[in-house]
Amino acid sequence: MRTECDYLVIGSGVAGLTFALEAAKHSRVTVLTKRSRTDSATNWAQGGIAAVLHPDDSFEAHVKDTLGTGGGLSHEDVVEMVVREGPARIRELMEIGAEFSRSEGEELDLTREGGHSARRVVHASDMTGREVQRALLAAAERVPNIDILEHHMAVDLIEQSRFGTPRRQVVGAYVLDEESGEVHTYLAQATVLAAGGAGKVYLYTSNPDVATGDGVAMAYRAGALIGNMEFFQFHPTSLYHPEAKSFLISEALRGEGGILRLADGTAFMEQHHALKDLAPRDVVARAIDYEMKRSGADSVFLDMTHLPSHLREERFPTIHAQCLRYGVDMRERPIPVVPAAHYMCGGVVVDDAGRTSLPGLWAVGEVTCSGLHGANRLASNSLLEGLVYGHRVAVALAHETALTPAGDVPDWDAGSAVPSDEEVVVSQNWDELRRFMWNYVGIVRSDKRLSRAARRIALLQEEIREYYWKHLVNRDLLELRNIADVAELIIQCAVARKESRGLHYTIDHPDPRAAFASDTHIERGVAAHIRGRH
């Protein structure tokens, strides 16, 4: 089957839906989501959206906080743009029905998180992402120009030079319809990647199961420029319990006064950073990792017992209820927590309007390397980025000349592929990959660990590629292929950066170096390299 549309969006989170709502004012938009329309990292976001919404705050302060967290790699012009456009995007969210928490005077209840110098985080209790997703989806479902196709997973981008055409451009994607098992051809004037992150590349993650790096992997295979993949943010605090899968304990708990302690009750963050429990996430994650390895403990503890009841039960009802489900009453005892892979700060390189290096391909949200986060993301700047860039891409595309295929685009050809006969190959490689990425390319790295990881991913890639070309595609196989490509990109970028900066910390090069004060770039056929000062 062959389908044509104006704009093809891959992903149904905050960035993709924000784009779709704005673009649908002048064009027809098809949104693909590989599971249900609510299965996105947006839906899991707890903390909030950072923006200057109080007269005591300022754009300059938010910019300074973002640059200070970014390890010298955030692009100041991008940070300035995103910060200044943020308040308007939040007001638009409220206009379409998003309901955020308010104080007694009906003003927005702004909270503070680690790395912020002011209370500027707007939130919907402790499940902000769910409310944002609800409001955006409800608005999108009211717009006749938007089609949302569930259980449709992109296999690969259609980049025309692969078919003998001299013009290099993306004109759509091959898409697996999971219900029929068939791969269809979707052609579009512009393709927008909004596929989110890749937390599932690690053994422990706060991300949902859909976060398998599909967007970055497809863009890389198509020839797009990728940047800063070594900078993967580990959230310091996920619930430590054998039955608790990927449950995040929001940074907002520390923002409201929560204290990290060892098993004996010792508060330890003052030994690691001047801001103590409000230090940036990378510092807190490394501190917890250090204390756990030093003591041999399975976790540390986040103590909320000394705080007023409304800051536990009313401000964090979802977290409170989930902890109770696992036998942890945070009113009476501290919450056991461990770090988990949380946010991909690198991705597909885009300009300030979301253009990638490939004509016809645009990207928004966590899938991108926009210059906002640099070497480390400031808390609650992620939903902000999705809102701002989703809007900017739609506005930019309204003034772009429509792309047309330069020649005939062939439909998907499965060749001699047969149904999978040994799914154990997929599950075995999946488990092995995530485990060595956690052990060798995790919070703390070394030259030896990265070398081991490089050898392992080379062997796995050989086996995965052989299996991929012999068998008909399904979601499990596609996700394994994508997560392996992302793992290889992370490893190669980490090997290239011979220093410690932001989220990339290596014991063999513990200090930042001026020669590395720029982005890491990598593309198909070109080794990872530091591109020179921006």
Tell me which residues are annotated as active site. Answer: 281
C-alpha span between 485 and 465 (Å, rounded): 10
C-alpha span between 266 and 287 (Å, rounded): 13
C-alpha span between 11 and 213 (Å, rounded): 12
Contacts of 350 (CB under 8 A, 6+ apart): 356, 362, 363, 364, 368, 369, 370, 389
Detail the DSSP E strand segments found in 85-227.
121-122, 146-150, 152-159, 170-177, 182-193, 226-227
C-alpha span between 491 and 493 (Å, rounded): 6
Q: Are strands 232-239 and 335-344 parallel, antiparallel or unpaired?
A: antiparallel
Structure tokens at 431: 């488990």
C-alpha span between 100 and 102 (Å, rounded): 6
Q: Which of 384, 362, 392, 366 is nearest to 93 (CA)?
A: 384
Strand partners, 102: 108
Q: Count of CB atoms within 10 A of residue 162's CB? A: 15
Structure tokens at 69: 């967290």
C-alpha span between 325 and 247 (Å, rounded): 12
Strand partners, 154: 175
DSSP state letters, 397-420: HTTSPPP--SSPPPPP--TT-B--
Q: Provide the greatest CA pair distance for the chain.
A: 69
Contacts of 283 (CB under 8 A, 6+ apart): 272, 273
Token pair 């999946």 is found at: 430
Q: Are strands 152-159 and 146-150 parallel, antiparallel or unpaired?
A: unpaired
Q: At what angle do helices 128-141 and 382-397 cross, to 10 degrees?
A: 20
- 71 phi and psi angles, rounded to 5 deg: 65, 25
C-alpha span between 531 and 226 (Å, rounded): 12
Q: Which of 264, 189, 227 is nearest to 23 (CA)?
A: 189
